[in-house]
Structure 1
Amino acid sequence: MYKIGSKKLINGWAFYDWANSVYSLVISTAVFPLYYDAVTDKSVVQFLGIDWEHPDSLYSYSLSFSFLVVALMSPVLSGIADYTGSKKKFMKFFCWMGSLSVMSLYFFDGLDTVWVGIVFTILASIGFWSSLVFYNAFLPEVAHPEQQDRASARGFIYGYIGSVILLIINLVMIQFPDVFGITTGMASRISFVMVGLWWLGFAQITFKRLPDDIYNRKPDADYIWKGYIELRKVLKELAGYPSLSKFLLSFFFLSVGVQTIILMAAIFGSSELGLGKMNLIVTILLVQIVAIVGAFIFSRLSERYGNISALKITLGIWTLVCFCAFLLDKNQENVAVYFYGLGGLLGLVQGAIQSLTRSTYSKLLPETEDHATYFSFYDVTEKIAIVLGTFVYGFLYSKTDSMQWSVLCLALFFLASFIVLSTLKKTKYVQ
């Protein structure tokens, strides 16, 4: 068993980002959405006995449903995991569930099997996001507070590098299927299997190094009820820590903006600016590559100037991204170049803000053995923010017939996060 703070333990923990980030890039962002659009293009899709004239809505609803399931389920399961000392077992279960579900997307090969794509999209999303709850909860158990900024950043850096490598391999297959003796559709389906195998295979390195039940919990037979009691206890404790509560509120506001932009950026580029698929894929790759640099730079800035100051800088840049996106117009000359520039600016702070919020929350936690339960509230905050953000974005788009006003509105959430963050009292490890 590796000691807390050891290089091998931190690297082993961070390597789960290398394993799972291929899901968020290849499945959530790049290959699967394009494949889904190609299969269902201008078609009426049947699912649950309903004719869906707009298949994109069905896909959007399926993701929303998966977020709702995770938001409702993770706090209770986290309470059970903390009470029984079984975070690692839960993390393994959801990793297997997610990776096998991703591989099952291989069997989505036409309109007759859209149900396969939808069902396993939901299960893969639940597996991915649920495993992250328990993964994040290990951070205070693998790194000391003064190490957590770098450890968190290392995870995101690993994730961006690994996901870019696999995405490039997948794109080569999809762009040149004849070289491999397959069709474009088959290349995409093989990519889904590769994502699942990559995720599951590399995760074994993490599972081998993470500790088991470091607090030696010995649960009673009624562990489900005791897990629920554990959840209620942490909820009451949370109200007694104003800095932690304020940070969650700030995290909620910034997540509305961050997650909505990440989810809607490709649609904004396609529908609002009229950019082609290759333009969007190039932008996605650019964001991932620049995010590696951003996560590294801001982890060092946080060490020198403090987490709060570093987060404020990222919030300022996110606000600037919103204003720049608002000013873009598809009739502008070289609009694709401007979009690439915006992608680079976004990439600079995407990895940074995700890394810093995780480590800052971990540093603000009280002395506790209930890390999974505390991090479940962090996760639920993010999921509720996604639901609100996508609703606000869609509502404004329906009222104004322009996504630019939707993007501009997101700047208000970054401003609100900045204001709340400014009220946060400094602590020993959060300056």
Structure 2
Amino acid sequence: MSTETVRVGASDEAVERRREQRGWYFYDWACSVYSTSVLTVFLGPYLTSVAESAADADGFVHPLGIPVRAGSFFAYSVSLSVILAVVVMPLVGSAADRSGRKKPLLAAAAYTGAAATTGMFFLDGDRYLLGGLLLIVANAAQSVAMMLYNAYLPQIAPPEERDAVSSRGWAFGYAAGSLVLVANLVLYSAHDGFGVSETTAVRICLAAAGLWWGAFTLVPLRRLRDRRSKAAGAAGAGAEAGATSAGLRQLVATVRDMRRHPLTLAFLLAYLIYNDGIQTVISQASVYGSEELGLGQSTLIGAVLLVQVLAVAGALTMGRLARAYGAKRTILGSLVAWTVTLGAGYFLPAGAPVWFFVLAAGIGLVLGGSQALSRSLFSHLVPPGKEAEYFSAYEMSDRGMSWLGPLLFGVTYQLTGSYRSAIISLVAFFVIGFALLARVPVRRAIEGAGNPVPERI
């Protein structure tokens, strides 16, 4: 084979890789609207108001006969959705690796979540149980889909590109979230001019997020390609058909395999802790702003829009910092910033939107980067050929195991009746996560997984 032939082959491979990467970015573009418009802005306050309309004289609703303070129902629903995802994700991840077909599973999860989100248009009156059910389905499906999406990262980007590719994916997501939030703000603020009520405007915004999610998921489904793993090839043609039935056995094998990589597990533990705090802040911030600080929906939309805009710049900036100082140090710095920002949130005065916007700016600058760099760092710790299995464990830490934070938030509010006490309880996640991550020797962890060590990590 001539040198020219090798050069042309390498060039074609690079072109195909860039094409897949661009398609991969578009799943963040598709699904991040759910995270911003639904989970962060509208659904928390709206579902809380629906639950309050169904509450008894003491302020409690009674799903399945269990007394739940109406203000805690949303947080508990988030926790239940995550527990469901914990059960499903390892089975789907092991099936994806055994069959080598991530794309059909990604499509099934994405469209299940998009359909449930679109169905939120019918959430009105006192239908809080319908809202809780749709939230549980949509959030669990989002977790499963994100696990499969993340598992593509080691396959479409070589080690030296992963920080940049991961950061661009987050930037695409925050850009989409910003664009849709602008449209939401126009509709919500001028709902009378559009001839709809305030609650109808909220329901339209919720349903539109599901339609957006489903429509743009078509792009990654067209551009990403499945790769048969060595395990799938060795198992033969019957592996694909038996992938799901063998899921439980494969899950046990995955857990045993991860025990052979204790430093990868150490990183996952640290990430589980600090990301639990991040996910809870994202999902509960609008409830805190509306219920404790007395801020209107338009103010909350504007604040989250500011977060989205700054998160794009923050993700790209922290990607550059990682190239200069290493991903681990940059993540540790972001956890310090999270701790300071959250502590400041406890002292925010009620009815003061300016200070809420300042807090939102602080969150935006560290949000995208801390998540993007955590994803790219973990991709170096995954043994080759086990991407979906290991990313199912990662997704349990990302969106899957992030049930303790909402549960703590809900229980603290239920016991104290104070959202300030609930929000300050989350500081512990960032402090403990920092301490655990600081102890992980990432170079040794990468070598132990059998991957090349980047020059700066």
Q: If the length of structure 2 is used for normalisation, what is the TM-score?
A: 0.85
Preserved CA contact (<8 Å) 1:43 1:53: no
Q: Is the 8 A contact 1:149 1:360 kept in 2?
A: yes
> Is 1:35 aligned with 2:49?
no
2:94 corresponding residue in structure 1: 79
1:128 match: 142
- The CA deviation at 1:379 is 1.5
User: What root-mean-square deviation, in Å, do the aligned CA atoms of Structure 1 and Structure 2 show?
Assistant: 2.5
Instruction: List aligned pairs for 1:30-429, cutoff 5 A.
Output: 30-44=41-55, 50=65, 54-111=69-126, 113-215=127-229, 217=233, 218-220=237-239, 221-330=241-350, 335-366=352-383, 368-383=384-399, 385-397=401-413, 402-427=418-443, 428-429=453-454
Counterpart CA distance in 2 for 1:48 and 1:337 is 38
State whether residues 22 and 159 of structure 1, in contact with CA within 8 Å, keep that contact through their aligned partners in structure 2: yes
Structure 1 position 235, deviation (Å):
1.5
Residue identity (%):
31
Mark the CA change 1:15 to 1:408 in structure 2 (over 3 Å): closer, same or farther. same
Question: What SS class does the counterpart of residue 385 from structure 2 fall into?
Answer: coil
1:47: how far off? 7.4
185-194 or 357-366, larger mean C-alpha shift: 185-194
Query: How far is the alpha carbon of 1:364 from its aligned partner?
Result: 1.6
- CA displacement 1:83-105 (0-9 Å, x = unmatched): 11121111100111111111122
Question: Structure 1: any 5+ residue segments left out of the alignment?
Answer: none
**How far is the alpha carbon of 1:312 from its aligned partner?**
1.1
Hey, what does 1:23 align to over in structure 2? 34
Q: Secondary structure at the match of 1:393?
A: helix
Deviation at 1:396, TM superposition (A): 4.1
User: Residue 53 of structure 1: CA displacement?
Assistant: 7.4
Against the structure 1 CA distance between its residues 57 and 338, is the aligned structure 2 distance closer, same or farther, given a 3 Å change threshold? closer
1:243 CA displacement: 2.3
C-alpha displacement of 1:303: 1.1
Q: Distance in 2 between matches of 1:392 and 1:33?
A: 16
Deviations 1:119-149 (A, max 9, x none): 3222222221111111111111111111111
Structure 1 residues 115, 400: closer, same or farther in 2, change over 3 A? closer
How many residues are aligned here? 425
Instruction: Quote the Cα distance in structure 2 between the aligned partners of 1:192 and 1:302.
Output: 36
- The one-character-per-residue Cα deviations of 1:285-322 (angstroms, maximum 9, x if unpaired) are 11111111110100111111111111111011111112
Q: Distance in 2 between matches of 1:201 and 1:208?
A: 12
Shift of 1:400: 5.3
Quick check: 357-366 or 113-122, which moved more? 113-122
What secondary structure sits across from 2:403 in the alignment?
A: helix
Distance 1:51 1:65 in 2: 14
SS in 2 for 1:224: coil
| Conservation of the 8 A alpha-carbon contact between 1:81 and 1:227 | no
Higher mean C-alpha deviation, range 154-163 or range 417-426:
417-426
Alpha-carbon separation, structure 1, partners of 2:48 and 2:360? 23
Greater mean deviation of Cα atoms: 94-103 or 191-200 = 191-200
The answer (yes or no) to whether the contact 1:82–1:227 under 8 Å persists in 2 is no
Alpha-carbon distance in 1 for matches of 2:187, 2:394: 38
Structure 2 vs 1, CA of residues 235 and 135 (structure 1 numbering), >3 Å: closer, same or farther? same
Matched residue type, 1:71: V
Asked if structure 2 preserves the Cα contact closer than 8 Å seen for 1:29 and 1:263, the reply is: yes
